[in-house]
């Protein structure tokens, strides 16, 4: 990504000098991989990802209110910000900012303050390796899938701290429940994540995503029946690991008042809240990346441009469409989570653990071994039905003719290291 911004700066430079009539050879550009480029990239990426988190929370809160309103035969918010109550979440945010920041006497003040930041940092950090489109990722790690799992596990520390530090018995209950639940569900969740990793042979989320390019039959969920089942186990465990109903035991309002965030108010509470919604998006996004074709739409209209075209600008355009694709698919999964939440009663703690240990773990193991066998015996998968990716690439490469097409040498520079990791 640092290189990307370096290139961008070069492009801008070249464009400006080009206007003045100089040829590209004569242009003095910024040094390759300069630290300024990387710093700039890091700041811009952090700002962008922070906005993903904030805007995601605002939009998903609004969606949750609307969806739950419709499910309950109500309208949901209708007044703030026009007809559909678009600004309801903003209004709530302002309300939360204005609320008194209470720290109970019994609370361990330092830990009580740290907990929300820990939670939100973990939720935020997981976005670092989440690619929104081909190459649109803050840091393309070779172990992206593993990194997300590890970081998402960190979020539970914030919750445990919040529950412990509140000095309330209800909070402590919530924290203990969350600890037991999240740690248990990490196992089947990781098993399910291993399945696409096995199929593709890489933990790099970009590589896994690009493997699914082309028709929707190329998506890993359609690879074989085991992979199909694994996606649903993944989604169930994902709901459990982000504490959404019917697994929202940590904040079970009918039992534990509000669970671990009983004593929180104002902005601190809203940070915990944002962390929850951020993780919801991350889990959904990871599901989309691993199983549902990532940023590739069901039909290969735009996605082949991403790699086929020689035009850098066209490729970015296709990336933008891919990004929309990805966000749309992830949001759909989030809405399914909302839908489930407002339909089902809550499970009891022992039932949640039973479900994990007796059903999810064995089922995910079966899925894993099934996929292994499938690979081992080289059984043809549904993915083979779709036309091969290279054919499509050639097809689109012929078609694309843009005034911005650059010479092949420059193209190699631009895309070097993008998908080769």
Partner 1 sequence: MLDPTLINNKNIEYDAQTNEMLINMGPQHPSTHGVLRLIIRTDGEIVSEIQPHIGYLHRCAEKIGEHLSARQWIPYTDRMDYLAAMNMNLGWSLTVEKLLDHQVSKKLQHLRLMICELGRIASHLVGMGAYGLDLGTASPFFYAIREREKILDLFEKACGARLTFSYITPGGVMADIPEGWIDECKAFLDYFEPIIKQYHTLLTTNAIFLKRTCNLGILSKEKAIDYGCSGAVLRGSGIDYDLRRDGDPFYTEMYDGYDFEVIVEKEGDYPKDYPYPDVPREAQLGDCWHRFYVRMLEVIQSIKLIRQSFEKYQSIPEPIEKPLKLQQKLPKGEIYLETEAPRGQMGFGLFSEGDPIPWKVRARSSCFCNLSVLPELCRGVYLADIPSIVGSLDIMMGEIDR
- CA dist 44 and 48 (Å) reads 6
Q: Which is nearer to partner 1, 3 or 262 (CB)?
A: 262
- CA dist 177 and 375 (Å) reads 38
- CA dist 320 and 419 (Å) reads 17
Size of the site for partner 1 (CB under 8 A): 27
**Judged by CB under 8 A, which of 75, 344, 373, 388 binds partner 1?**
344
**Judged by CB under 8 A, which of 18, 32, 47, 72 binds partner 1?**
72
Q: Which is nearer to partner 1, 11 or 248 (CB)?
A: 248
Q: Is 396 an interacting residue with respect to partner 1 (CB under 8 A)?
A: no
Q: Which is nearer to partner 1, 320 or 335 (CB)?
A: 335
CA 293 to the chain's CA centroid: 13
Q: Is 253 an interacting residue with respect to partner 1 (CB under 8 A)?
A: yes
- CA dist 379 and 143 (Å) reads 27
CA atoms within 13 A on the CB side of 192: 31
Helix (H, G, I), strand (E, B) or coil at 95: helix
Q: Is 348 an interacting residue with respect to partner 1 (CB under 8 A)?
A: yes
Stretch that binds partner 1, among 167-175, 196-204, 315-323, 376-384 (CB under 8 A): 167-175
Q: Which is nearer to partner 1, 345 or 380 (CB)?
A: 345
Q: Which is nearer to partner 1, 288 or 347 (CB)?
A: 347
Q: Is 70 an interacting residue with respect to partner 1 (CB under 8 A)?
A: no
Q: Which is nearer to partner 1, 66 or 223 (CB)?
A: 66
Name 172's Cβ contacts closer than 8 Å, sequence gap at least 6. 163, 164, 166
List the one residue out of 169, 65, 160, 40 whose CA is nearest residue 112. Answer: 160
**Judged by CB under 8 A, which of 26, 100, 105, 350 binds partner 1?**
350
Stretch that binds partner 1, among 187-195, 226-234, 342-350, 383-391 (CB under 8 A): 342-350
CA separation, residue 288 to residues 24, 231, 310, 369 (Å): 41, 10, 27, 22
The residues that touch partner 1, with contacts defined as CB under 8 A, are 68, 71-74, 169-170, 173, 245-246, 248-249, 252-255, 257, 342-351
């Amino acid at each position: 990504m640092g290189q990307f911004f370096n290139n961008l700066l070069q492009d801008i430079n070249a464009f400006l000098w080009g206007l003045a009539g100089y040829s590209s050879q004569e242009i003095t550009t910024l040094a390759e991989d300069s630290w300024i480029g990387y710093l700039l990239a890091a700041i811009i990426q952090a700002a962008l990802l922070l906005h993903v988190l904030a805007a995601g929370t605002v939009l998903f809160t609004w969606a949750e209110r609307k969806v739950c309103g419709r499910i309950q035969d109500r309208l949901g918010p209708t007044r703030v910000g026009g007809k559909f109550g678009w600004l309801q979440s903003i209004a709530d945010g302002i309300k939360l900012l204005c609320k008194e920041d209470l720290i109970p006497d019994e609370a361990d003040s330092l830990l009580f303050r740290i907990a929300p930041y820990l939670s939100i940092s973990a939720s935020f950090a997981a976005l670092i390796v989440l690619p929104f489109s081909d190459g649109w990722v803050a840091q393309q790690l070779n172990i992206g899938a593993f990194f997300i799992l590890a970081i998402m596990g960190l979020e539970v520390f914030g919750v445990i701290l919040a529950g412990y530090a509140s000095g309330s018995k209800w909070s402590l209950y919530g924290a203990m429940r969350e600890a037991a639940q999240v740690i248990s569900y990490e196992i089947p969740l990781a098993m399910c994540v291993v399945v696409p990793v096995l199929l593709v042979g890489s933990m790099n989320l970009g590589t896994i995503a690009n493997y699914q390019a082309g028709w929707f039959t190329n998506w890993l969920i359609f690879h074989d029946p085991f992979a199909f089942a694994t996606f649903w186990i993944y989604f169930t465990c994902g709901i459990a690991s982000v504490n959404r109903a019917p697994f929202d035991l940590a904040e079970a309002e009918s039992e534990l008042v509000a669970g671990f965030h009983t004593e929180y108010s104002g902005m601190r509470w809203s940070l915990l809240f944002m962390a929850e919604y951020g993780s919801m998006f991350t889990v959904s996004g990871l599901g989309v990346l691993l199983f549902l074709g990532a940023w590739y739409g069901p039909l290969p209209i735009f996605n082949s441009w991403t790699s086929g075209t020689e035009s850098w600008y066209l490729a970015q355009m296709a990336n933008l469409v891919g990004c929309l694709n990805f966000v749309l698919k992830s949001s759909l999964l989030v809405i399914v989570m909302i839908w489930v939440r407002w339909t089902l009663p809550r499970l009891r703690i022992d039932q949640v653990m039973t479900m994990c240990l007796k059903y999810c773990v064995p089922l995910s193991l079966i899925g894993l071994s099934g996929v292994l066998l499938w690979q081992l015996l080289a059984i043809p998968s549904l993915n083979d039905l779709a036309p091969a990716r290279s054919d499509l690439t050639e097809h689109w490469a012929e078609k694309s003719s843009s005034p911005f097409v650059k010479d092949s040498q420059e193209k190699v520079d631009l895309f070097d290291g993008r998908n080769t990791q």
